């Protein structure tokens, strides 16, 4: 077995605990250091996880043991941090979004390509057991030709929750002002867009409606610079499938997916759990269809292609659902791609395409999508038998 690849985390905020706690799931990764421009945060995080802290980004990039930089900074810092790591010859895995504009994201993708470096981007839930199971079922034709998708990414009415009290395990406060300024589309839409663009090919057209429905989320803050808190969009994919995707921080928590095909319906209840169950409804045989409300069989569990066996259990608060995601799996995919000299499944070209869709989603109207990406390959353990 090869030596583990040295990984440095840049940004020791709320999400960083999820990475530190899932890196041990992947023997090809070794956390060699962390850095945050907030020195107190870096020190607290370093102490909590027992990973040394670098004093500066320059020190981090001067350390030869750092092969992959994991960019966990706030979205507005993503492009600068990724660019400096690539310029220093490091592979990068970036949290979503890759950048805040398509032009900036394209510049990063081209920089990585020109230097022969791997740039991967989150979210990596497409590599999860649930997504791989749904994808395999689609390739296997269990619902026939997929026609229509309904995807929900509602996070609950956050402004009615005690969001200012939420802290990560190592003590980072949940960055609510940043979250409200970036908005649920840029924060969350990629969780399903990565799946859908992998399943159905690049999107060609987006028709959307977006609005900031509740600007007064934070006492004493006007919210005039907050992003839309409600976005709904209909997308057309290369395969011909149509999807309606809704993101909000208003409606009660719902992260369900339904894929409607000619021969049945696949359903996932939760995309923030890599091992969430999948159900299948097939058509009632023609001769038994008695009425319009009895054309589908009751849902039955559709077995995962393999058990979701990884270490990560996290609960934001006693009231909130378990978010069970193996965050470091995307970093491990970058390491494997580098070792095996192949393209990473968490491809930056796909992330650029998804960013173009999301920016179109936050406008009102119809937008043609220009970017495309090479098809992603399923995980080997989810391949169909030859
Ligand atoms: N909060 C979540 O639950 C969550 C979940 C999944 C993904 N994410 C994503 O993770 C990323 C980080 O989110 P977060 O919630 O951890 O934010 P955060 O504000 O809690 O943490 C970001 C950290 O990055 C540091 N930072 C910013 N710019 C920097 C720079 N140039 N150099 C060094 N450090 C810098 C900040 O000081 C801060 O400590 C975002 O892209 C977000 O979309 C967040």
Model pLDDT for residues 24-69, shown as the tens digit of each residue: 999 999 999 999 999 999 999 999 999 999 999 999 999 999 999 9
Please name the residues in contact with 277: beta carbons below 8 A apart, sequence gap of 6 or more.
130, 268, 269, 301, 304
Flag whether pLDDT at 314 surpasses 80.
no
**Looking at per-residue confidence, does 285 or 72 come out higher?**
72
CB distance 158 to ligand 1 below 6 Å? no
Q: Which atom of ligand 1 is nearest to the CA of 187?
A: 43
Contact assessment for residue 186 and residue 227, using Cβ atoms and an 8 Å cutoff:
yes
CB distance 77 to ligand 1 below 6 Å? yes
Average pLDDT, the chain: 94
Phi, psi of 304 (to 5 degrees): -65, 150
CB distance 81 to ligand 1 below 6 Å? yes
Domains 5-121 and 129-324+348-371 belong to one CATH topology: no
In the block, tokens 């920089």 appear at: 111
Flag whether pLDDT at 321 surpasses 70.
no
pLDDT at 308: 87
Flag whether pLDDT at 134 surpasses 80.
yes
Architecture of the domain delimited by 5-121? 3-Layer(aba) Sandwich (3.40)
- In CATH, which of 3.10.450.50, 3.40.50.670, 1.10.238.10, 3.30.360.10 is domain 129-324+348-371? 3.30.360.10
pLDDT tens string 255-297 = 999 999 999 999 999 999 999 999 999 999 887 777 666 889 9
In the block, tokens 């867009």 appear at: 193
Sign of CA dihedral 152, 157, 161, 164: positive
Specify the residue with its C-alpha closest to ligand 1, atom 15: 14
CB distance 175 to ligand 1 below 6 Å? yes
DSSP state of 318: T
Contact assessment for residue 281 and residue 299, using Cβ atoms and an 8 Å cutoff:
yes
pLDDT at 329: 96
DSSP 18-84: HHHHHGGG-TTEEEEEEE-SSHHHHHHHHHHHT-PBPSSHHHHHH-TT--EEEE-S-HHHHHHHHHH
CB distance 107 to ligand 1 below 6 Å? no
pLDDT at 3: 80
Flag whether pLDDT at 157 surpasses 90.
yes
CB distance 44 to ligand 1 below 6 Å? no
Q: How far is the CA of 172 from the centre of ligand 1 (A)?
A: 10
Contact assessment for residue 245 and residue 189, using Cβ atoms and an 8 Å cutoff:
yes
CB distance 13 to ligand 1 below 6 Å? yes
Contact assessment for residue 354 and residue 190, using Cβ atoms and an 8 Å cutoff:
yes
DSSP state of 283: B
Q: What is the mean pLDDT of residues 8-16?
A: 97
Tokens of 58: 């320059």
Q: What is the mean pLDDT of residues 112-128?
A: 97
Reading across the β-sheet that carries 68-71, which strands appear in turn?
29-35, 5-10, 68-71, 91-94, 119-121
For residue 225, the tally of other CB atoms under 10 A from its CB is: 11
Burial label for 22, CB within 10 Å (0-12, 13-18, 19+), is buried
pLDDT tens string 221-249 = 999 999 999 999 999 999 999 999 999 99
pLDDT tens string 180-215 = 999 999 999 999 999 999 999 999 999 999 999 999
Q: How far is the CA of 20 from the centre of ligand 1 (A)?
A: 14
Q: How far is the CA of 11 from the centre of ligand 1 (A)?
A: 6
The residues spanned by each domain of the chain are 5-121, 129-324+348-371
């Amino acid at each position: 077995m090869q030596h583990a690849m040295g990984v440095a985390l840049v940004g020791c905020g709320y999400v960083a605990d999820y990475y530190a706690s899932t890196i041990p799931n992947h023997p090809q990764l070794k956390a060699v250091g962390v850095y945050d421009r907030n020195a107190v945060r870096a020190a607290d995080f370093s102490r909590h996880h027992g990973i040394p802290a670098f004093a500066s980004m320059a020190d981090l990039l001067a350390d030869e043991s750092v092969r992959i930089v994991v960019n966990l900074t706030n979205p507005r810092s993503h492009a600068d941090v990724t660019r400096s790591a690539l310029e220093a010859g490091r592979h990068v895995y970036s949290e979503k979004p890759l950048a805040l504009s398509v032009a900036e994201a394209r510049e990063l993708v081209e920089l990585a390509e020109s230097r022969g470096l791997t740039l991967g981007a989150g979210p990596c839930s497409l590599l999860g057991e649930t997504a791989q199971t749904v994808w395999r079922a689609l390739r296997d034709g269990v619902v026939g030709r997929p026609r229509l998708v309904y995807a929900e990414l509602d996070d609950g009415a956050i402004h009615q929750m005690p969001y200012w009290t939420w802290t990560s395990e190592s003590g980072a406060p949940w960055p609510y002002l940043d979250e409200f300024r970036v908005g649920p589309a840029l924060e969350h839409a990629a969780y399903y867009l990565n799946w859908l663009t992998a399943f159905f090919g690049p999107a060609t057209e987006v028709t959307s409606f977006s609005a900031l429905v509740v600007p007064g989320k934070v006492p004493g803050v006007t919210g005039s610079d907050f992003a839309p808190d409600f976005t709904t969009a209909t997308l057309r994919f290369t395969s011909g499938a149509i999807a309606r995707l809704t993101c909000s921080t208003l409606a009660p928590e719902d992260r369900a997916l339904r894929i409607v095909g000619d021969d049945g319906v696949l359903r996932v209840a939760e995309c923030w759990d890599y091992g969430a169950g999948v159900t299948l409804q097939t058509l009632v045989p023609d001769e038994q269809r008695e009425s319009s409300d009895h054309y589908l069989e009751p849902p039955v569990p559709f077995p995962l292609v393999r058990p979701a066996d990884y270490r990560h259990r996290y609960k934001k608060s006693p009231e909130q659902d378990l978010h069970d995601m193996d965050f470091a799996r995307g970093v491990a995919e970058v390491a494997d791609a580098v070792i095996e000299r192949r393209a990473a499944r968490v491809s930056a070209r796909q992330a650029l395409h998804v960013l173009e869709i999301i920016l179109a989603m936050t406008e009102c109207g119809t937008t043609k999508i220009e970017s495309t990406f090479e098809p992603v390959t399923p995980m080997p353990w989810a391949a169909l038998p030859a």
